[in-house]
Structure 1
Amino acid sequence: MEASWGSGSAERGWYISAQQPEDSAAAELRPLLSNELHRQGSSGASFGFSVFNLMNAIMGSGILGLAYVMANTGILGFGFLLLLVALVASYSVHLLLSMCIQTAYLDPVVVAGTIIIQNIGAMSSYLLIIKTELPAAISEFLTGDHSGSWYLDGQTLLLIICVGIVFPLALLPRIGFLGYTSSLSFFFMVFFALVIIIKKWSIPCPLTLKSVEEFFQVSNATDDCKPTLFHFSKESAYAVPTMAFSFLCHTSILPIYCELQSPSKKRMQNVTNTAIALSFLIYFIAALFGYLTFYDKVESELLRGYSKYLPHDVVVMTVKLCILFAVLLTVPLIHFPARKALMMVFFSNFPFSWICHTLITLALNIIIVLLAIYVPDIRNVFGVIGASTSTCLIFVFPGLFYLKLSREDFLSWKKLGAFVLLISGILVGNFTFALIIFDWIKK
């Protein structure tokens, strides 16, 4: 058995290769994991912390775009697609865990490149939300004219946050250290969903905006306040990519697995199923009540609607800060697999070095800050990244790897499932990507 381990398990501790039967390889993997964690003075992350870490990797900016997706697919159409993507995400993790003993998931350069692009896109989308929404959230707590102040400038705040919070957390040597921040992020997401439910009855429909002297109506038709069960338009092309983006956690599976207490594939699958099920529940509730609040006037980024129709509402202002903090805490978590992929591509033959670790973390921070500053609309990030790298990581690569590496007969249920996953990913990814590009050209 060949294994590669370094001083930081988040960096080098989850590359395993073996050419042995599955059971014996798994039996040898457990003591290796235990020894590595023992050298770092830890018994591993608990089941609960592992669920929180994985949920933090799953849930981020995607929750803000799903109400817009529901408006363009209908309640039942959205529910069916969201459940389908969640089941596919869980099954693809199952295939990944089945193969992780036999090969390194990040070994092929093309996979590492896909993970780098996916995670950079995800992190930049989170920072884009911070840059856009944090100044507005702060301004709602202030009275008087503060225009031109540095604390209301999105780019300045973004730089301060990245230097003071994101960079130090991303420098941590082990992903298990983020269990506390991940649990905090989870409760912020739950609070966000609860506030969306409560505030549904605070915004009347037809929608009205308050001008200086009077209310004026945005929507004049009561028909605009009736939910649709199924709805399809050119904007529906963003549905599956946004959902794929919202459930993408595969790049964090192996780092979390390697730091799990009593690690086994069954235990890690239970962590995954629990995290995906809880994420699905929160996603659906937030999307449903966000849609039932704004209907077809829902924004591509949900928080904008509350800023427009409920300015200076204390609960809304508080939940904005909470969701922004939750999104912010997701960024350091996604740094781990992105940095690992970069090290696999460029520094795979070098021992772990804090200098290299720090420089790569700094480079990733600079790239995502620049993207967050210059990308105009978060929907573009959801669409392009979701249709390309997210579908590859959820659909294409797990199916492809299983077909290539498994010794089972092709007509076995797992191999047929992997084949369907592969073909579905190629078709869905190419079709939705083509529709999105066509939509851009048309506009």
Structure 2
Amino acid sequence: MFTRILNIVAILIFVQKFSIAVILVSRSNSALLWSSPPIPCLAFEGKTSFGMSVFNLGNAIMGSGILGLAYAMANTGILLFLFLLTAVALLSCYSIHLMLKTSGIRAYEELGYRAFGTPGKMAAGIAITLQNIGAMSSYLYIVKSELPLVIQAFLKADPNSDVWYLNGNYLVVMVSASVILPLALMKQLGYLGYTSGFSLSCMVFFLTAVTYKKFQIPCPFEEFSVNGTDAHLSLNVSDQINGYSNSLVHEENGSHCTPRMFTINSQTAYTIPILAFAFVCHPEVLPIYTELRNPTKKKMQKVSNVSIFVMYSMYFLAALFGYLTFYENVEPELLHTYSRIDPYDTLILCVRVAVLTAVTLTVPIVLFPVRRAIQHMIFPSKSFNWLRHISIALILLMFINMLVIFAPNILGIFGIIG
């Protein structure tokens, strides 16, 4: 499930990701870019510290994409993966550098207005709105599909039970109302620095667990034995458990337990979209820049560089230790591979909760640029108003929850948003 979501979102975003910077460069010498008068800017800026800005941008970068990186390394080899990861990270840094250097402004809608007038402002706002709604929908779809399975595994509940706490639709609404909505109602993006820091700590816990498991799990590993006693328990914790033979032990010659530096196969091409999705943060850059204390282009570039470097390091370590645990047997969603060994492993279940927590806490960060875009498009000259601020957040979350609940699958969501 995670892999399908990652690939769909990545394909939608990959081509678009660096286009903003390219447009800025191509239009920077045009008289039209600076001939239009500036539109009023919705501003409550200058209050977020450097550290909180790093946390917010790092949280925007970090997502469920980290779960697919070990699989990407298995299909590229360690050195080729490192080269590709480095290249994408550098491209992300450079594209942010172009935006900051060339635009001279701190809102995509203002950039669109100066470049193409009112149609440009509307196009920029609509693009940000649709892209981020798609991202938020994918995050909440992960919550809807994975949280019931985690609860089911913790409680060892009957998978056919119809109790409410195993219903993904109820759970996603509860998470949205109790966690996401209160955070989305914050007046400033900078206030989310604390939750962003906690979200990143959840991913550090994930990295620590992956590193620990590398030295605990032997290679080749023995798969979970499904006997008569266990048959009634939840085998849906990992969709991949079904179909594997009982007590299967992989080939004992250990040939597949040797790391490869370079690998080219039919799955190698999917590595680029996975890596591109892993560093997507561009819609959040300018809003974070707007609220940065004593904002300068140099300071915001430093925020971006630090955030990307920290995420780059975490990505590589998570991919490396995940790959060195399972080698070519690693699955597209790393945590499912651990479930093949023991679907009721308490540590891995806690890691899955941590990942779901991190994904959930990313949603408010992604929602802020959407609300900002809507305000620029519909209320460009209005000052801050709490009623409007709350109403936009409520409407957005209600719409996204309806998409997640009524769409038959993730393809249905992107069929509407795309």
Normalised TM-score (structure 2): 0.75
Q: Report the alpha carbon displacement of residue 111 of structure 1 after superposing the two structures with TM.
A: 3.2
Aligned to 1:127: 140
Aligned to 1:76: 79
State the one-letter code of the partner of 1:366: M
Aligned to 1:115: 128
Q: Deviations over 1:231-276 (max 9, x none)?
A: 2333333222222211111111122112222211111111111000
RMSD, matched Cα: 3.1
1:217 aligns with 2:231: no
Tell me if the contact between 2:180 and 2:364 (Cα under 8 Å) persists in the aligned partners.
yes
Indicate the SS of the match to 1:165: helix
Q: How does 1:363-402 map to 2 (within 5 A)?
A: 363-373=395-405, 374=407, 376=409
Distance 1:148 1:189, change over 3 A: same
Aligned to 1:142: 155
Distance 1:316 1:351, change over 3 A: same
1:187 aligns with 2:190: no
Q: Report the alpha carbon displacement of residue 279 of structure 1 after superposing the two structures with TM.
A: 0.4
Unaligned runs of 5+ in 2: 1-27, 29-33, 35-40, 113-119, 228-244
Taking the aligned partners of 2:84 and 2:341, their CA distance within structure 1 comes to 29
State the one-letter code of the partner of 1:193: L
Q: Deviations over 1:338-358 (max 9, x none)?
A: 222233344435554444433
Distance 1:297 1:321, change over 3 A: same
State the one-letter code of the partner of 2:90: L
Aligned to 1:172: 186
Q: How does 1:204-243 map to 2 (within 5 A)?
A: 204-213=218-227, 216-217=247-248, 219-220=250-251, 222-243=254-275
Aligned to 1:246: 278
Taking the aligned partners of 2:308 and 2:338, their CA distance within structure 1 comes to 27
Q: Deviations over 1:50-99 (max 9, x none)?
A: 11111011101111222222222222121111111101111111111113
Normalised TM-score (structure 1): 0.71
Taking the aligned partners of 1:372 and 1:70, their CA distance within structure 2 comes to 31
Indicate the SS of the match to 2:267: helix
Distance 1:200 1:191, change over 3 A: same
Distance 1:318 1:103, change over 3 A: closer
Q: How does 1:293-332 map to 2 (within 5 A)?
A: 293-332=325-364
1:95 aligns with 2:98: yes
Taking the aligned partners of 1:375 and 1:274, their CA distance within structure 2 comes to 39
Percent pairwise identity: 46
Which is bigger in relative contact order (C-alpha 8 A, separation at least 6)? 2
Indicate the SS of the match to 2:316: helix
Taking the aligned partners of 1:193 and 1:115, their CA distance within structure 2 comes to 31
1:67 aligns with 2:70: yes
Indicate the SS of the match to 2:375: helix
Tell me if the contact between 1:208 and 1:215 (Cα under 8 Å) persists in the aligned partners.
no
* Worse-matched range after superposition: 333-342 or 172-181: 333-342
Indicate the SS of the match to 2:374: helix
Q: Report the alpha carbon displacement of residue 369 of structure 1 after superposing the two structures with TM.
A: 2.9
Taking the aligned partners of 1:377 and 1:285, their CA distance within structure 2 comes to 29
Q: Deviations over 1:198-223 (max 9, x none)?
A: 11233333343222349522633633
